[in-house]
């Protein structure tokens, strides 16, 4: 793997590394994003974030909010699978936004990228609700990946406030203990809740669903999607999951 670009800004070292067609973003040595234009699926946490969209009834999936853009991998996946969806991406690190644009090829028509603190931005937001909110707010702590914002009761309340009545909230937790200790775990407004464990990592990607979509409907929407190949559908449906 080759380092093709790096820049230090204050205490942060940003690097872009490539291996064949794959592009990776590292900040302070922590791996944030990977994208290969020839491979829609990453076989990592970004797939688990993306597939939560299939819990939203297709006719109502119009507005998506991504908190924590990184290199924009989930945006790339959405552009291919849900091209009519309007995406807003909020990212604290301005360098991540620049890298997403230059190295991951996130264009103006792909998403509206906003450089802001996600907590401050969502607290101030008073626009239409979102059909899907993805909270992927991560940074680093002494070289180890860590959530940038704890999902306490206050943050959970703000996230839930901006999800539409038939929408979905997806949150990436470091692991299941972090999920169980979160301010979302005991909330009652969700009709179904699922936890996905991405391959090769311990993350608990947790999906909180306000509508009546059950696993069978979720599976059928994946099986019927015209862009996904048979092998991609098999890979998605094979990811470990459980209700909670």
The per-residue pLDDT for range 157-215, each reduced to its tens digit, is: 999 999 999 999 999 999 999 999 999 999 999 999 999 999 888 999 999 999 999 99
- For residue 30, name the pLDDT band (cuts at 50, 70, 90): very high
The per-residue pLDDT for range 119-134, each reduced to its tens digit, is: 999 999 999 999 999 9
Q: Which of 82, 77, 90 is nearest to 61 (CA)?
A: 82
Please name every residue paired with 138 in a beta bridge, in sequence order, or none if there are none: 147
Domains for the chain: give ranges and CATH numbers. 40-243 (3.40.50.150)
Note the pLDDT of residue 193: 98
Strand, helix or coil for residue 144: strand
Note the pLDDT of residue 140: 84
Total-model pTM: 0.97
The per-residue pLDDT for range 3-16, each reduced to its tens digit, is: 999 999 999 999 99
Choose the weakest-confidence range: 8-12, 30-34, 114-118, 139-143: 139-143
How many angstroms separate the CA atoms of 58 and 93, rounded?
A: 32
How many angstroms separate the CA atoms of 110 and 10, rounded?
A: 30
Averaged pLDDT for residues 48-77: 98
- For residue 92, name the pLDDT band (cuts at 50, 70, 90): very high
Chain centroid to CA 98: how far? 18
- For residue 143, name the pLDDT band (cuts at 50, 70, 90): confident
Averaged pLDDT for residues 128-154: 94
Note the pLDDT of residue 200: 86
Which H helix or E strand runs over 31?
strand 30-35
How many angstroms separate the CA atoms of 195 and 239, rounded?
A: 10
What region does 72 belong to: left with phi over 0, alpha with psi -120 to 50, or beta?
left
The per-residue pLDDT for range 205-229, each reduced to its tens digit, is: 999 999 999 999 999 999 999 999 9
Chain centroid to CA 237: how far? 18
Q: Which of 9, 41, 16 is nearest to 231 (CA)?
A: 41
Helix ranges (H only) for the chain are 45-50, 73-81, 94-102, 118-124, 153-161, 176-180, 215-223, 230-237
Q: Which of 25, 29, 117, 122 is nearest to 76 (CA)?
A: 25
């Amino acid at each position: 793997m080759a380092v093709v670009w790096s820049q230090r800004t204050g205490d942060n070292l940003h690097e872009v590394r490539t291996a064949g067609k794959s592009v990776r973003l590292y900040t302070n040595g922590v791996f944030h994003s990977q994208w290969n234009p020839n491979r829609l699926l990453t076989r990592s946490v970004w797939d688990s974030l993306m597939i939560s969209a299939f819990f939203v009834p297709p006719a109502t999936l119009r507005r998506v909010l991504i908190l924590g853009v990184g290199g924009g991998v989930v945006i790339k996946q959405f552009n291919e699978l849900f091209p009519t969806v309007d995406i807003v991406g909020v990212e604290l690190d301005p360098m991540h936004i620049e890298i997403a644009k230059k190295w991951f090829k996130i264009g103006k028509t792909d998403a509206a990228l906003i450089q802001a603190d996600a907590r401050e931005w969502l607290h101030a937001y008073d626009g239409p609700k979102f059909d899907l909110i993805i909270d992927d707010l991560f940074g680093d702590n002494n070289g180890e990946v860590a959530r940038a914002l704890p999902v306490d009761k206050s943050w959970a309340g703000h996230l839930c406030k901006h999800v539409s009545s038939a929408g979905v909230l997806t949150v990436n937790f470091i692991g299941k203990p972090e999920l169980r200790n979160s301010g979302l775990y005991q909330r009652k407004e969700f009709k179904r809740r699922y936890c996905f464990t991405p391959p090769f990592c311990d993350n608990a990607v947790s999906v909180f669903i306000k509508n009546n979509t059950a696993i069978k409907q979720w599976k059928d929407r994946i099986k019927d999607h015209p862009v996904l190949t048979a092998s991609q559908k098999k890979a998605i449906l094979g990811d470990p999951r459980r209700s909670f």
